[in-house]
Amino acid sequence: MRNWRERISIDPNICFGKPCIKGTRIWVSLIVDNLAADVPEEEIFEAYPDLTHEDVQAALAFAAEMARERYVDIPIP
């Protein structure tokens, strides 16, 4: 998804400013956490019927951009 901004909003008055799918209170992190836990998209859609495949793709694109833009120090043993 080239333009995740069309599907994701960040509003300090909604869900404490956490990134959400526009028009919902579904956090981007919730979608990414589920995918990371190997939950199939179909199960995510059953739990959150307002979500679409494009919403999930936007959540992944957002997460990828955040990973590129932010650095976390990881100790090297």
Per the domain annotation, does 77 fall within a domain? Answer: no
Domain interval for residue 32: 4-68
Query: What pTM value is reported for the model?
Result: 0.84
pLDDT digits (tens, 9 = 90+) for 25-34: 999 999 999 9
Per the domain annotation, does 17 fall within a domain? Answer: yes
Number of domains in the chain: 1
Per the domain annotation, does 12 fall within a domain? Answer: yes
Helix (H, G, I), strand (E, B) or coil at 9: strand
CATH of the domain at 19: 1.10.10.10
pLDDT digits (tens, 9 = 90+) for 14-50: 999 999 999 999 999 999 999 999 999 999 999 999 9
- CA distance linking residue 5 with residue 10, whole number of Å: 10
Per the domain annotation, does 55 fall within a domain? Answer: yes
| Nearest Cα to Cα of residue 28 among 14, 42, 72 | 14
